[in-house]
Amino acid sequence: METARVQSVASTCTSKEEIPSDFIRPENEQPGITTVGSTDFEIPVIEINDSDEERLAKVIAKASSEIGFFQVINHGIPRDVIDNLKRVGKEFFELPQQEKEEYSKLPGSIEGYGTALQKEAEGKENIKGWVDHLFHRVWPPDR
């Protein structure tokens, strides 16, 4: 069975009625109910190079549970590496669909091109997440 890719679904649907049912979340999980309710908050900023690992873990856990996301600074990744990663990622997702499919994940693998079926992991089968992704393990040069 072929997996519908989010990018393809989004580019072909012109109205809510055309969205495949397996991409529609139950009403109680739709945006506005599950997202941050206002803009009256500050995005937590976390210095990832903090040598106090216990404190760092607590700060990350707090930001994750209270807001759900955070900004990481002082991670040691050079700006040009980040910019290059963004560029090649954008280039990949602009490829024709057939070419992207050549990099599809193999069954049982986490590495490759795919569509997140995140609801299955939460015990709600057949409701897809709105995420196409490319996952590729890259180890630091010293490994």
pLDDT digits (tens, 9 = 90+) for 21-76: 777 777 777 766 555 656 667 889 999 998 999 999 999 999 999 888 899 999 99
Average pLDDT over residues 138-143: 70
Helix (H, G, I), strand (E, B) or coil at 45: strand
Residue 40 lies in a domain: no
From the centroid of its chain, how far is CA 1? 23
For the cut 50, the answer to whether the pLDDT of residue 136 exceeds it is yes
Residue 29 lies in a domain: yes
Residues in the chain: 143
Q: Give whole-number Cα distances, 52 to 55, 56, 70, in Å.
A: 5, 6, 18
Residue 64 lies in a domain: no
Residue 142 lies in a domain: yes
Residue 46 lies in a domain: no
**What is the chain's mean pLDDT, rounded?**
81
pTM across the whole model: 0.61
Residue 129 lies in a domain: yes
Which range marks the domain in which residue 28 is found?
1-35+104-143
Residue 93 lies in a domain: no
